[in-house]
Structure 1
Amino acid sequence: MNHPQEEQSRLSSSIATTCSKLQADYLGRNGYPNQAQARGTLAELRKSAGQPALQNPLVFENVLSSLVAPLSEKEMGRGDAPSPSEEAAFQALTYFALHMQGATHEVHDSSHSFASACGRLAHTSESKSIKGRFDALVLARTAQSRLIQTRSLISLLRSKDLRFHYGWFATDLRKLSNPRTRNGVLLRWGRDFAFAQHPRENNSSSTTKEN
């Protein structure tokens, strides 16, 4: 399912490119030295998955240093707190590092949104708690609660080898920090989650929707 046009932002492209490189290195496709470096980088980043950037200044620095393409000048922060784009980049890459732990294939791909992956998880899992976990994320009243619920869901996606587009995810995380755009993201996530639970009915129309 396609993401809105804002997926073309520098934040989205930077995170997508960075995740593609890190996972290729991690999986050993670019030689052992790159693999060892990627594994060290991701091991450091995943320690902060689900935590605010402001509490982890060294990891925040590592996130910005890891970006293959830097954020635009407009997206960079100026003061003593991360900008919304910097916070979103921090969250996306630390969650990606958690998702990649022990992976034998890509966890970042270009065809599924985060909510769509969660819907596929609910459809294929024997557990009946997935929808409740996703609903708890949508209903979370604080940023800290959303971080915790998101970490829990990504751990479950990792256990079932489900993947999604981390560039789109980063854009959504940035919009979730803005009260004016938050509900729109949550509404779209609900749609993607529900749509992904009916793959047989949707397979025939997916190509049309993505073109």
Structure 2
Amino acid sequence: MTDTLEPAVRKRPRHSREPEALGRHVASVVDDLQRRYLRQAPAAIAALAQLRQAVNAEPGTAGLDAVWLPDALIEPELRSERAEHPRATPSEQALHTAVTLFAIHQQSQREQRMHTPGTTFAVACQWLAAVRDNDETVHRRFAAVGTAATYPELVYHVRNMVTQLRAAKIGFDYGVFADDLRLFQRGPALVSGLTGADHVRALWGREYWRASAGPARPAATDPDASDASDTADPSTSQE
């Protein structure tokens, strides 16, 4: 079995979710970066390179994402705490993680859109298993994502999956992904006692295994990227 891509399919995937306010903001940010990167705009190439270097840094230290989160999207209950302490809120952390991982995902992809609205992270992982000869390896890596006990552990395992998805040219919806990252960081609910992480694990697990019974995946071809050249970046360090 090969990693050959099928022709692009324009209809919305079966297993899709709409982003919330944070997700819509993240989607607009990465969509703008993606379009400019595919056209080889020097500023976008430099921005993605800087974001890749900041993937393990604290939110705001990249010098780029600190200005991307409007105050209206920051959790109201954390406003006073944010004013007194420098630590990132769940929304700020989710924004930073999503945008920096997108920068890794889109790296060197000249004709493919790695931000693909309508395809969730879990469904993209299942499509990865479908194009790999050894799908058990993908299953194990996805299971590691599902057993992450802390947010840093989750990001570590997701980053490993993102590099595999990049190699297979499979994208996903970074807006919905950011919403999921935000939810993962929430504490237990008063009624159910379940944490946000519990909800995300269950949601991703359902999407992953349900997608295995679905049709072949649509490709993430960018119809707006026809003007993008296959030449190398001006700087190899910013590829």
The TM-score bracket by the shorter chain reads 0.7 to 0.9
The TM-score normalised by the length of structure 2 is 0.73
Cα 1:73–1:199, aligned 2, differ >3 Å: closer, same or farther?
closer
The one of the two structures with greater contact order (alpha-carbon pairs below 8 A, sep at least 6) is 2
Q: Which ranges of structure 2 fall in alignment gaps of 5 or more residues?
A: 1-14, 188-194, 219-239
Match of 1:63 in 2: 65
- Measured against aligned partners, the alpha-carbon deviations of 1:62-105 in whole angstroms (never above 9, x if no partner) come to 1133x3x7352544743210111000000000000000100122
Letter in 2 for 1:20: D
CA distance in 2, matches of 1:107, 1:126: 22
Q: 1:165 aligns with which of 164, 173, 178?
A: 173
- Provide the C-alpha distance between the structure 2 equivalents of 1:182 and 1:144, rounded to a whole number of angstroms: 12
- Do the aligned partners of 1:64 and 1:70 also contact (CA within 8 Å) in 2? no
Q: Secondary structure at the match of 2:86?
A: coil
Written as runs of structure 1 = structure 2, the 5 A alignment for 1:56-95 is 57-59=60-62, 61-65=63-67, 67=68, 70-72=70-72, 74-75=74-75, 77-78=82-83, 79-95=85-101
Distance (whole Å) between structure 2 residues aligned to residue 196 and residue 103 of structure 1: 25
Cα distance in 1 for partners of 2:104, 2:32 equals 16
- Give the one of 1, 7, 25 matched to 2:36: 25
What's the C-alpha RMSD, in Å, of the aligned pairs?
A: 2.2
Q: State the alpha-carbon separation in 2 of the partners of residues 62 and 163 from structure 1.
A: 23
CA distance in 2 between partners of 1:95 and 1:12 (Å): 14
Please identify the structure whose Cα radius of gyration is greater.
2
Deviations, residues 11-40 of structure 1 (Å, cap 9, x unaligned): 111100011100000011xxx6xx100010
Q: For residues 24 and 124 of structure 1, do their structure 2 counterparts lie closer, same or farther at Cα, with a shift above 3 Å needed?
A: same
Determine the structure 1 residue equivalent to 2:154: 146
What is the TM-score of this pair, normalised by structure 1?
0.82
> 4+ residue stretches of structure 1 with deviation over 6 A?
none
Aligned: 1:36 with 2:48: no
Alpha carbons 2:116, 2:171 under 8 Å: kept: yes
CA contact (8 A) 1:14 1:71 kept: no
How many pairs does the alignment contain?
A: 189
CA distance in 2, matches of 1:201, 1:114: 16
Would the alpha carbon gap of residues 71 and 163 (structure 1) be closer, same or farther in structure 2, given more than 3 Å must change?
farther
Residue 196, structure 1, aligned to residue 172, structure 2: no
Letter in 2 for 1:130: V
Is the Cα contact below 8 Å between 1:114 and 1:164 reproduced in 2?
yes
In structure 1, stretches of 5+ residues that fail to align are: 204-211
Q: Which has the higher helix share?
A: 1
Q: Which moved more, 1:124-133 or 1:88-97?
A: 124-133
Q: Matches of 1:47 and 1:196 in 2, distance apart?
A: 33
Deviation of 1:118 after TM superposition, in Å, equals 0.5
2:130 maps to 1:123? yes
